[in-house]
Structure 1
Amino acid sequence: MKRTAVNPWDWSIKLGYNQAEVIEGATRQVICAGQTAVDGTGAPQHPDDMRAQISLALDNLEAVLKEAGMDLSNVIKLGVYATDVDEALKNFDLMGMRFGPHQVAPPMTLLGVTRLAIPSLLFEIEAIAAA
């Protein structure tokens, strides 16, 4: 699979994502449901701790991708939902720590929401991956 970044401006690169990517040669796609800070039984974890919730949601995303035979390097689109966008952005260094080693900056949308499916959850991330 070949990825070509499309960035008419450079401001988003500084924030860790491309405006768009041209994907060529992919033969498989995985559409991931939103991943949150829940344990293996689906019980919410880390109430009132945005940083810990982002970290666990990313762990869960990586677990889903691994089960599908992929990793974060395969992610071509992210959708992020947070109940407090400012607090999420304060902790977005976690995104860079996870995606940076894979040298990818998938296009992303970050939305502020009033709540998630389970009220104690603060952060949810969904992904599309391709190989």
Structure 2
Amino acid sequence: METRVINPWQWQDQRSYVQAVEVKQAAGTLYCSGQAAVHADGQSSNADMKTQILLALQNLEQVISEAGYESRNIVRLTIYTTSSAEFFSHFDIVREWVAKHGCKQALTLLEVNALFETLCVEFEATVVK
């Protein structure tokens, strides 16, 4: 697989994403459903935003790994949150997770009215191999 990052500017670098990622000769593509703070028994978390971000990222990483892919090959990440203000107060967690994996992904953040049950954040990803 070959990837090329397209960044006409540099301001996005501090926000842990890129403007676009071109993928050539991918051996596979994994489309991950939104991963949220849901425990292994299927129970939704009712914890605070920070705790939900950590659990949702852990779940995303597990799905990617069990599919035989690597988190570093995420090329598209969409984040849904019920409170962008609260989410951004913990954005350093996402930045650190992205840096840990060396991701260079296109990113979209959406504030939504509600997520399932008590959830307040969800991560949806596209990963290539």
TM-score, normalised to structure 2's length?
A: 0.94
Partner of 2:89: 90
SS at match of 2:23: strand
In structure 1, what is the equivalent of residue 62 of structure 2? 63
Q: 2:128 aligns with which of 102, 127, 130?
A: 130
What is the Cα deviation at residue 105 of structure 1?
A: 2.5
State the aligned residue count: 129
Alpha-carbon distance in structure 2 between the residues aligned to 1:25 and 1:33: 23
1:17–1:108 contact (8 Å) kept in structure 2: yes
Superposed CA RMSD: 1.1
User: Unpaired runs of 5+ in structure 2?
Assistant: none
Q: Which runs of 4+ in 1 moved over 2 A?
A: none
Alignment-mate amino acid for residue 127 of structure 1: A
Paired residue for 2:39? 39
Deviation at 1:48, TM superposition (A): 4.7
Q: 1:40-66: per-residue Cα shift (whole Å, max 9, x none)?
A: 121012x25101000000000011001
| Contact 1:48–1:122 under 8 Å retained in 2 | no
Percentage of pairs with the same residue:
36
CA–CA separation in structure 2 for the residues paired with 1:17 and 1:4: 13
Using the TM superposition, name which of 109-118 and 2-11 deviates more: 2-11
Relative to structure 2, which stretch is displaced further, 6-15 or 32-41?
A: 6-15
What's the secondary structure of 2:50's corresponding residue? Answer: helix
Distance 1:48 1:60 in 2: 15
